[in-house]
Chains A and B, each alone.
Chain A
Amino acid sequence: MIFGIDVASILLGGFAAGMVLFIVSVGLSVTMGLMGFVNLAHGGFAMIGGYVIVLSMNRWGVGFVPALALGFVATAAFSVVMERLLYSRLYRAVELDQVLFTIGLVFFMIASVTLLVGPENQQLQLPDMLRGQLDLGFITYRTYSIVIIVIGVVFMVGIWLGFERTRMGAQIRAAVDNRRMAESLGINVNRLFTFTFAFGSGMAALGGGLGAEFLGLDPQYALKYLVYFLIVVAVGGLGRVTGVFYAALIIGVLDFVLKQYVPRGGTLYIYALTILLLLLRPQGLFGKPA
C-alpha cells in the first residue's frame, strides 16, 4: 500500500515537471520541424515570458491568469519582431550560422534581463487557491502540481485538435513532412512559420511562468534548461506534437525518479539514454524516418 502511494506521488511529481517541459518545448519542436532552424534561443523566450508573468504578479499585483495571458501575448509579439527582423534572414543559412546567431541572441537576452531586473532569482507568489494540498481520494498531493498537470493535458488536447482538425494544422503537418511539396501546392510556409514561431514562443513563456515555482527563474534559466528542452524535442521527434508530449512525460518522470533515488549524477542516465536512443532512432521515438 505504501509502495502504491510512493509510485503515485512520483508519477504525479514527474508528470507535473513533464507538463512544464512539454509546454515549453512543443513550439520548439514544431518550428524546428518546419524550417529545420536550430533555435538555441528558445529557452530565452521561456525566460523572458517567465519574467513578464512573475514580475507583473509581484510588482503590479496582476492576477495569476491575466499574468499568464500577458506573458503569452508579450512574448509572442516580441518573438514575431525577432523572427521577421532577424531569424528570417537565416532560413537558408547553414546550421553553424543559426547556432551562432541564436547563441548570440541568448547572451543578449540574458544580459538585457540582468541589466533591467537583476541577476537574482524571482519568486513566483502563487495565489492562495493554488497553495496547499488537494485530496484526490487515493492520495493527497500538492494542488499546484495537479493544476499544472490539468493545464498540460488541456493544452495537449487543444494543440492536438488544432493540429489534426483545422486547416492550418493540416498545412503545418504537410509542411513538416515535405516542405517543398507543400510550397508548390501553394501553402505559404513562411507565414505558417511566423505563426507557429509566435505561438511556440508564447507557449514557452507560459512554461517559463508555470514552472518558475520549482525550476526557479533567473537570467541563466535560458541556458540552464536548454539541454533538457532540446533533448525532449530530439527524443519526441521534430514536428510531432504527441511525440513531444510523451517524451516530456518520460523525461519528467525519469528525472524526478533519478533526483529522488540517485541524488548525485542522476542526469548521467538521461544523457546516456538520449545518446543511445538517437543512435538507434535519429528521428526520435515518435518521428518518421527521414
Chain B
Amino acid sequence: MSAPASPLTHPAALALARRHRVRIWEPLPWLVAIAAYFVFPSYLTFGTEILVMVLFALSLDLALGYAGIITLGHAAFFGAGAYAAGMLSLYAGWNEPISLLLAAALVAGILGLLSGWVLLRTHGLTLLMLTLSFAALLEELCNQFIEYTGGFDGKNLDIAPVLGAFEFNPLYSNTQYLYALAVLFVMFVLVRSIVYSPFGHSLTGIRENILRMPAVGTPVQWRLAMAYSISAAVAGVAGALSAQTTLFVNQTFFNLEKSATVIIILILGGYGRLYGAFIGAIAYMALAHFLSKAYPTAWQLGLGLLLIVIALFARNGILGIGARMLRRLGGRAA
C-alpha cells in the first residue's frame, strides 16, 4: 500500500502554491522604479507623487478589487493618515518619519474598522452615500478645527531625517523618492501576502457570491470589516507618506476629488490584480502632469471620454486589455 500523498506534494496544494509564487516578471516594476531614479533625476518630486498614488490605489484594490466594497470615500483614510502624522509632528513634537507612518496606519486602521463595522452592513447606493458622507464629514471636521488643521490653507510640517541621516530637502526629492519606494515595497509585500492568504481568498469569495460564503461558514461581516480596516490602514500610510514627502497637509486630502481620482487610477490600470495600481497611477499621473497644466479643459474632456470608454468597453483596465491580447496570441500559437 502506498502512503497517502503528503500535503505538500498533493496536486491541490501545488496548485495553490503556484498561485502565489513570485512570477518571473514581478521584479520588473521595481527595477523600473530604481532605474527611474537614475534616468530622471529632475523628475523625482513627480516620481514620489506617483509612488504615493500607487500605494493609495493599492489600498483601494484590497477593498474594491478583492473584497468588492464599492466606496466613494476612500480619501477619508488617506486624509486621516496624513493628519495623524501631521498633528503628531506639529503638536506632540513627534517627528520621526517611520514611527509616524505606523501611527498613521493605526489611526486610519481603527477608523476603518469602526466605520467599516457599521457602514458595511449596507450595500449598493446606501453604501456609496455613506462612504461619501463619511469622507465629507471628516473634511468638514477638518474645516471646523481650522486653528489646528489649517483648513484649506493647510499646515507646513517639519519632519526629522529618515533614520536620523537622510533629510527631506524640499528642493531635491532624492530622499523622498527612495523613502517612498521603500515604504511602497514593504506595503506591497504585505498586501500581496494578504491577497494570496486564505483570508484573501475568502474575500474574493465574498465578492463573487455573498450568499454562498456564509453558507460555507465564513463570517462575512467580520471579514469585510477586517479587509476594510487593513485597506484603510494602507491608505493612511499613503496619506502620511504624501504629507511627509511634501511637508504639507490640508483638507483637500479628504475630498471627493481625491476619492474619485484613486478609483479612476485603479480602474484604468485594472482592479483585483495588484499591479493595476502601478500601471494606472503611472498612466494617469503622466497624462495629468503633462496635459493638465498646458490644457486643463482639454484634459478634463479627454479624461471624461476615457472614463466613458473604459466603463462601456474595457472594464478590466489596461492590464485586462493586455491579458486578453496575450490570451489571443497564446491561443493562436497553440
Residues on A lying within 8 angstroms of B by beta carbon are 32, 36, 38, 86, 89-90, 93, 95-101, 103-112, 114-115, 223, 227, 230-231, 234, 238, 264-265, 267-268, 271-272, 274-275, 278-279, 282
Contact = CB atoms under 8 A, between A and B. Distances in A.
A111 B300 contact: yes
A120 to B, nearest CB: 13
Interface string B54-71: 000000000010000010
Given A105-B304, A108-B300, 15 more contacts: A93-B311, A98-B311, A104-B305, A109-B304, A111-B304, A227-B132, A230-B129, A267-B140, A268-B137, A268-B144, A271-B137, A274-B133, A278-B126, A279-B119, A279-B130
A104 B118 contact: no
6 pairs of A and B residues whose beta carbons are closest in the complex: A104-B307, A107-B304, A108-B304, A265-B144, A101-B311, A111-B301
Contact of B305 (A95, A97, A108, A264): A108
Interface in B288-322: 297-298, 300-301, 303-308, 310-312, 315
A104 B136 CA distance: 21
B303 A104 contact: yes
Contacts of A274: 129, 133
A162 B132 CA distance: 33
Chain B contact surface mostly = helix
A107 B311 contact: no
B125 A103 contact: no
A108 B309 CA distance: 12
A111 B305 CA distance: 11
B140 A227 contact: no
29 contacts: A36-B125, A89-B312, A90-B312, A93-B311, A100-B267, A101-B311, A101-B312, A103-B263, A103-B264, A103-B307, A104-B303, A104-B310, A105-B304, A107-B300, A107-B303, A108-B300, A111-B300, A111-B301, A111-B304, A234-B129, A265-B143, A267-B140, A271-B140, A272-B137, A274-B129, A275-B133, A275-B137, A278-B129, A279-B122
A114 B297 CA distance: 7
A86 B301 contact: no
A38 B125 contact: yes
B256 interface: yes
Interface of B: 64, 70, 72, 118-119, 121-122, 124-126, 128-130, 132-134, 136-137, 140-141, 143-144, 146, 256, 260, 263-264, 267, 297-298, 300-301, 303-308, 310-312, 315
Contacts of B124: 36, 95
A262 B130 CA distance: 24
B132 A230 contact: yes
Contacts of B132: 227, 230
Contacts of A93: 311, 315
Given A103-B307, A230-B132, A268 B118 contact: no
Contact of A108 (B146, B256, B308): B308
Contacts of A264: 143-144, 146
Contacts of B264: 100, 103
